[in-house]
Structure 1
Amino acid sequence: MSDLPSAIHPDILPRLDPEYVAIHNAQIAHRVPLHTIPWHPDIRKAPHVPGGSPVRTVGAVKDISLQNCKIRAFIPEGTPPQEGWPVLLFIHGGGWTLGDIDTSNSFISRQCKENNCVSVAVDYRLAPENPYPAAVEDTIDALKFIYYSGKAEFNANVNKIAVGGSSRCLQSACLKAQELNASNPHHLPAINLIDNTASVTDERYPSWKECQNTVLLSEGRMMWFRNMYLPDPATWTEPDNSPIFASDALLAKVPPAYIGVCEVDILQDEGIAYGEKLKSLGVKVEVKIYPRAPHSILGMDAALKVGRQLADDSVKAVGDAFKAA
């Protein structure tokens, strides 16, 4: 095994997409894993995963300050429909610790451009400075702002709200949408975390053990994120942290979902289990597994065919949901 700090583990190497391996060896293998160094906020300045596509040009971009965070709305070109633009609320990944309002600019500007929808990013507060429930509270505040003020601020159709992201906060937003009586036509849990009690010894989710040494989101990195955001283990089973523990009555109200999971991702089996749980409660769900793919490929859509496929499928899922609503 190479002595580079982020060299691909020999258990994982033959399972990965060769396109990803080439990029990793050239641009990631030399990076020191963030979870192995003492915490400092400057860690957030580390480079993102390489290979993302450029931000699309849209009609307008509007930053709006909320009580504890900021949101950014990408607004389509042209004249809105009489009932207003549909809206996608997107919550960036980063283990509640990394990332910011710019993290998903490429993906959500594409959603805005191709689906003629207002795409909204949430700059939620980050751990460890702001542990649970800060990220959930900010996500819900963003949803409420869209529902109550979106029509006035950016010609939103508040009866067509989809929620997506690489963060477990989106499940909370989906459930809150039901309380607001927003139709919430779809949700898009791409490469998502569903159960904060999972571990390498957990027989429910074999991918934790099988992918414990994977790239981008190893067991060590996942536990680092968990301990940053959820320092009290007593909170790990709360539905806001582990949606799979929500009551059947609540989960049955979740809107139709597209769940994209990666085959070489520690979180793969959680996403599959969540999809099966929703299906058992009568929710319309499509689960797709992206072969030989690690975590974070959505941000590598310009460099990886499999990353582009996940992005394409996600854009299509949102567009189809808006058309059907």
Structure 2
Amino acid sequence: MSDLPSAIHPDILPRLDPEYVAIHNAHMAHRVPPYTVPWHPDVRKAPPVPGGSSVRTVGAVRDISLQNCKIRAFIPEGTPPPEGWPVLLYLHGGGWTIGGIDTLNSFISRQCKENNCVSLALDYRLAPENPYPAAVDDTIDALKFIYHKGKTEFNANVDKIAVGGMSSGGNLAAIACLKAQELTPPIPIIFQLLHVPVTDNTASVADGRYPSWKECQNTVWLCEGQMMWVRNMYLPDPATWAEPDSSPIFASDDLLAKVPPAFIGVCELDILRDEGIAYGEKLKSLGVQVEVKVYPRAPHLILGLDAALKVGKQQADDAIRAVGDAFKAA
């Protein structure tokens, strides 16, 4: 096993969830890590790892083209409430470099089905062809479209918009909550769902602020080499790494204090664990209501393995509950 290109490192193996180990050894260990070979966009064609639940049947699915990207709207069955359906905009992960509109359709459609909300996937532009801030611009374009056209396009209640995302998508969701305040008019967001988010693009293995970078530098899915590879693709100029539009933890306290309540889910064996926790603690210190949950023995990507991993199903179930509770409370 140790000769395989993505074999689990002995540092990490005894700490990993055994259910994950079995999936990794069957479906991941033979794959060549993309950061170890020259860049080619065909890396985006790699088949997904099996273990995700099926896409749910909803009332309708619509793809809508925006200026530089498109959104996919999962619309509930039945008659919308008089004020319209609540809305969740959820942004896929992939280090701003891989992934796409199909990446998390099972989870996004489940949000639609179980929370009776319009649930949207965004096909934001990817690096290195479209580096920072293209993905941020596309996220804000989508938010503006939902706010200004969502009522007529899909019976949205634009006073009940939540945003969420995984990994790089969690980064974009957190940034959207900051930038929405500065738009004219401001767009009110009622909740943010951040899964394993990138919150600080200045983090490194030598950085004492985030011990998980060193502790998990050899972890699966998102080791140090993979993280630095996607960071350099998306943020080729290190001068941008500390900008709030790439690292939301560096936004002003004034903006951070006004973001909506958050659920932040991080994984114990993820390099990004401690920056996600630190972001939650910073928001709490400024008076924002935040729930932070650490998923034990779990690596970075478990949300997409919700049918194969108990801990993946737990993360998905928690997210359904958090968003549903936010819509009920709004």
- 1:194-233 CA-to-partner distances (Å, cap 9, x unmatched) read 0000000000000000000000000000000000000000
Q: Is the CA contact (8 Å cut-off) linking 1:262 and 1:268 kept in structure 2?
A: yes
Distance 1:49 1:239 in 2: 33
Instruction: Give the aligned partner of residue 236 of structure 1.
Output: 241
Identity %: 80
In the alignment, does 2:98 pair up with 1:98?
yes
Candidates 275, 287, 292, aligned match of 2:292: 287
Instruction: Give the aligned partner of residue 174 of structure 1.
Output: 177
In the alignment, does 2:201 pair up with 1:196?
yes
* Corresponding residue SS for 1:71: strand
Distance 2:274 2:49 in 1: 23
Instruction: Give the aligned partner of residue 61 of structure 1.
Output: 61
Distance 2:179 2:122 in 1: 16
Residue 34 (structure 1) shift: 1.0
Residue 188 (structure 1) shift: 0.5
Candidates 288, 293, 307, aligned match of 2:312: 307
Q: Tell me the amino acid that sits aligned with residue 50 of structure 1.
A: P
- 1:256-292 CA-to-partner distances (Å, cap 9, x unmatched) read 0000000000000000000000000000000000000
Distance 2:202 2:188 in 1: 31
Distance 1:97 1:182 in 2: 27
Distance 2:302 2:312 in 1: 5
Distance 1:214 1:279 in 2: 29
Instruction: Give the aligned partner of residue 146 of structure 1.
Output: 146
Of 111-120 and 45-54, deviating more is 45-54
Distance 2:7 2:100 in 1: 27
Q: Tell me the amino acid that sits aligned with residue 265 of structure 2.
A: G
Candidates 278, 281, 301, aligned match of 1:296: 301
Alignment of 1:17-28 (within 5 A): 17-28=17-28
Q: Is the CA contact (8 Å cut-off) linking 1:71 and 1:101 kept in structure 2?
A: yes
- Any unmatched runs of 5+ in structure 1? none
Instruction: Give the aligned partner of residue 224 of structure 1.
Output: 229
Q: Tell me the amino acid that sits aligned with residue 174 of structure 1.
A: C
Distance 2:175 2:280 in 1: 16
Alignment of 1:108-119 (within 5 A): 108-119=108-119
Give the number of aligned pairs.
325
Instruction: Give the aligned partner of residue 70 of structure 1.
Output: 70
What is the aligned-residue RMSD (CA, Å)?
0.8
Residue 176 (structure 1) shift: 3.0
TM-score norm. by structure 1 comes to 0.99
Alignment of 1:262-281 (within 5 A): 262-281=267-286
- 1:14-65 CA-to-partner distances (Å, cap 9, x unmatched) read 1100000011111110111111111111110012232111100000001000
- 1:171-206 CA-to-partner distances (Å, cap 9, x unmatched) read 121123334444311100111110000000000000
Q: Is the CA contact (8 Å cut-off) linking 1:60 and 1:75 kept in structure 2?
A: yes
Distance 1:183 1:173 in 2: 11
Instruction: Give the aligned partner of residue 130 of structure 1.
Output: 130
Residue 311 (structure 1) shift: 0.3
Q: Is the CA contact (8 Å cut-off) linking 1:211 and 1:265 kept in structure 2?
A: yes
Q: Tell me the amino acid that sits aligned with residue 303 of structure 2.
A: L
- Any unmatched runs of 5+ in structure 2? none
Distance 1:126 1:183 in 2: 27
Distance 1:147 1:236 in 2: 29
Distance 1:278 1:125 in 2: 29
* Corresponding residue SS for 1:275: helix
Distance 2:223 2:315 in 1: 21
Distance 1:175 1:200 in 2: 27
Instruction: Give the aligned partner of residue 36 of structure 2.
Output: 36
* Corresponding residue SS for 1:322: helix
* Corresponding residue SS for 2:71: strand
Q: Is the CA contact (8 Å cut-off) linking 1:140 and 1:172 kept in structure 2?
A: no
Q: Tell me the amino acid that sits aligned with residue 214 of structure 1.
A: T
